[in-house]
Amino acid sequence: MVYDEVSIKLWREGDPFGISSLLYDLPAGLTLRARSHADIIVLTKDNFLDVCRSHCDVINDIETEAKKLFGLPVVLNIAPQT
């Protein structure tokens, strides 16, 4: 199925996207298309949780900022995988 393209935001260098998918286990809600060459860093959910496990000091900041952005609490499950 093909949808009409609609521009809803212009992302700039350094702007993150896909955060809600990482924090809330939601499917991607947007498809992004670059107007010109773009270098993209992909952070999978597993990689994100590994970073959180390695840098526990930032988890409270992530949870606080997510609540400001989305109005929903975040509880990151960073227990070591067995």
Residue ranges per structural domain of the chain: 1-82
pTM, to two decimals: 0.65
What are the tens digits of pLDDT across the range 21-53? 888 878 877 788 888 898 888 888 888 888 888
pLDDT at 3: 65
pLDDT at 81: 64
> Which residue pairs, CB below 8 angstroms and at least 24 apart, start in 17-22?
19/66, 19/69, 20/70, 21/45, 22/48
Contact 66, 47 (CB under 8 A): no
